[in-house]
Amino acid sequence: MKALLDWLDQRTGYRRIVRYSLYENIPGGARWRYVWGSTLVFTLTIQFVTGLFLWMAYSPSSQTAWESVYFIQYEMTGGWLLRGIHHFTASVMNVLLVLHLMQVVIDGAYRAPREFNFWFGIGLLLLVLALSLTGYLLPWDQKGYWATKVATNIAAIVPIVGPAIQKLIIGGSDYGHHTLTRFFALHAGVLPATVIVLLVWHIFLFRRHGITAKDPKRKPDEYFWPDQVLKDAVACLAVMATILFLVLRPWLFNTGEDLGAELAAPADPSETYSAARPEWYFLFLFEFLKFFPGGYEVWGAVVIPGMIMSVILLMPIIGRWHLGHVFNMGLSISLLVGVALLTYLAMTQDERDPAYQSAVQEAKRNAARVRELAQAPTGIPPTGAVSLLRDDPKTQGPRLFAKHCATCHRYDGHDGTGNKLKEEQSASDLKGFADRDWLTGLMDPARIASLHYYGGTKFKDGRMVRYVSRDVVKFFAEDKEKLRKVILALSAEADLKSQQATDERHAAAINEGRKLIASEEMRCTECHRFHDQGEDPTGPELTEYGSRDWLIEFISDPGHERFYGKRNDRMPAFGKDRLESHAIGLLADWIRGDWFETPGSEAAVRSANLRGLIPKPETRNPKSETNSNASNK
């Protein structure tokens, strides 16, 4: 063994290298205050290792970046942990950098001959900030997309060359594939390579000039190995524990958030994102910009930060004089206090801003929903995940309803998104439209003229209301039973997802109901067309009433002869230049409760329970249970 090592040493000189790196003299012995540099090397190493392995699963293009990060986060074993460590180590690293820098300033470790090492250190700080900034965009989610837009737009503020710089950074005039390829090349290539060069030089200079020993020396000199290494190792483990704590925080405190780093919905330039904020360590710059009125941003974004940076770089020169050192310490502390204050301001403002808070909630909802859709059997299409939310009735329906329908209609008493409106509704409440409950209410003499149905419209005095309040009100038990079947049959025309199981179970009653609708006895076809019955209709057609096609055509043109014709009361023809057919389809699907829910998920079970899809305990029998389970899928 000894001979082998001698052989190796003669050819590589490894012993000298090992000795040089391990047996560094530490005047006054190992101390806890010397661990910060090592923790930074440690965190940087974590970033290199975790980053390299994330790289193996990451795909930088606007159609695959979010998708590949989603896959890492939710599909690959341990992916959430790896990404979480990478994400939170970045935060921890920024804190450690500031601690390291403050220690250097306070101890005056920047003084001759260590000026260059100070400057390399500042360079490293800026590089790490640049790494954080570029890394924030790479998941290509709404959060990173909109926050980074702010950063790159600031680049365009720079006089004369600004727009060109911006174009070079984002790889074109707008965000796209090349923004990602460039940011990724910066994040995983250019910046880390520069960091390595500067860091090696930084450590080399540190060894050349030796540690800045803190007087008084309390102990005799010791070596780096193992005395200081032990302390460094303990500090690194503490840092790692902190990072792990941050990754596991949602689990430890049961906050209901996902473990690891957040992944918002895929970037969508057509979708507002009011929850856009930079990472917390950039919040102070974000807040600082608020103080500069239009036209003066360049002061807040470039000139003042640039001046402060220049003074920081001059610290080793200023520090030559005793008062200069005092000035440096004062400046650093006041900068730190300023940054803390601005960060605090930004955070408390957001905390007290209900608009921001609801934007955050919506962002979380969208993130959870898009994840659910990505995990659906249809999965993520090759064109990318951005269409998942755009084509999702559950996401788009409420927004479209609030914007286009809620001026007159209501949905369960609100505007679709949950907001109660002050104005009284002037048209029906469409929650559960065409389902059995909704139709039962419509045929109820006590309810048909209420605001929930026709109360707000001119149909309040129309023939339907007259029929229900004069004829239906006098129904005996036998007629009531017939009406019940009519309602079952009419509701079955809608072919609602929520009633699939019950419609199947009640097929016989529905068949009778169909005949009743067509018969003269129930008088439906006096005013409505139903399949081949109803000669001269004045009310809306009942064939496939409430089905997807029926509803789309109704929303597109309620004044069509099939529906209200000339009697149409104020409802606009949305198909005529008001809404695209895609949007009308989403509205129809949403009103009909037709969207994807993960089978067995809480939402799926809840909606099934509400609509009687799952039999109530007393009526439960094995056969109907298997039926409802089958149709639930």
Partner 1 sequence: MDNSERLQEPARRDFVKKAGSIVIGGLAGAIPTGAALTVFLDPLQRKGQRSELVHVASLDSLPSDGTPRQFSVVADRTDAWNKSPRVPIGAVYLRKTETNQVIALNVVCPHAGCFVEFNSSRKVFSCPCHNSRFSLDGAIADRKSPSPRALDALEVEIRNQSEIWVKFQNFIAGHAEKIPVS
Find where tokens 């999965």 sit: 379
Any idea what DSSP says for residue 501? H
- Which of 210, 305, 338, 413 touches partner 1 (CB under 8 A)? 210
- Which of 35, 40, 82, 483 touches partner 1 (CB under 8 A)? 82
Q: How far is the CB of 137 from partner 1 (least distance, A)?
A: 19
- Which of 102, 150, 244, 259 touches partner 1 (CB under 8 A)? 244
- Which of 5, 8, 168, 237 touches partner 1 (CB under 8 A)? 237
User: By CB under 8 A, which span of 68-76, 133-141, 163-171, 180-188 interacts with partner 1?
Assistant: 68-76
- Which of 68, 132, 179, 396 touches partner 1 (CB under 8 A)? 68
Of 230, 237, 592, 618, the C-alpha closest to 433 is 592
Binding mask 153-192 for partner 1 (x = CB under 8 A): ----------------------------------------
- Say how many C-beta atoms besides its own lie within 10 A of residue 355's C-beta: 10
**CA distances from residue 591 to 63, 396, 417, 432, 435 in whole angstroms, order as listed:** 31, 11, 13, 7, 11
d(CA 578, CA 369): 27
- Which of 50, 499, 500, 525 touches partner 1 (CB under 8 A)? 50
Residue 380 in the binding site for partner 1 (CB under 8 A): yes
d(CA 104, CA 613): 69
Name which of residues 491 to 530 contact partner 1 (CB under 8 A). Answer: none
Find where tokens 């951005």 sit: 386
- Cβ(349)–Cβ(277) below 8 Å: no
Cβ closest to partner 1, residue 295 vs residue 382: 382
Residue 227 in the binding site for partner 1 (CB under 8 A): yes
Residue 596 in the binding site for partner 1 (CB under 8 A): no
Q: How far is the CB of 72 from partner 1 (least distance, A)?
A: 7
Please, where are the H alpha helices in 138-266? 142-155, 162-170, 177-185, 191-209, 229-252
- Cβ(548)–Cβ(594) below 8 Å: yes
**CA distances from residue 170 to 191, 535, 556 in whole angstroms, order as listed:** 16, 65, 42
- Cβ(270)–Cβ(281) below 8 Å: no
Within its chain, how far is the Cα of 395 from the centroid?
Answer: 13
Cβ closest to partner 1, residue 231 vs residue 414: 231
The encoded tokens of residue 166 equal 């911006």
- Which of 20, 32, 204, 344 touches partner 1 (CB under 8 A)? 20
Residue 72 in the binding site for partner 1 (CB under 8 A): yes
Q: What are phi and psi of 414, to 5 degrees?
A: -120, -170
Q: How far is the CB of 89 from partner 1 (least distance, A)?
A: 8
- Cβ(401)–Cβ(180) below 8 Å: no
Cβ closest to partner 1, residue 77 vs residue 621: 77
- Which of 197, 230, 421, 507 touches partner 1 (CB under 8 A)? 230
Contact positions toward partner 1, by CB under 8 A? 19-20, 23, 25, 42, 45-46, 49-50, 52-54, 56-57, 64, 67-68, 70-72, 75-79, 81-82, 85, 89, 210, 223, 225-227, 229-230, 232-234, 236-237, 239-240, 244, 374, 378-382, 385
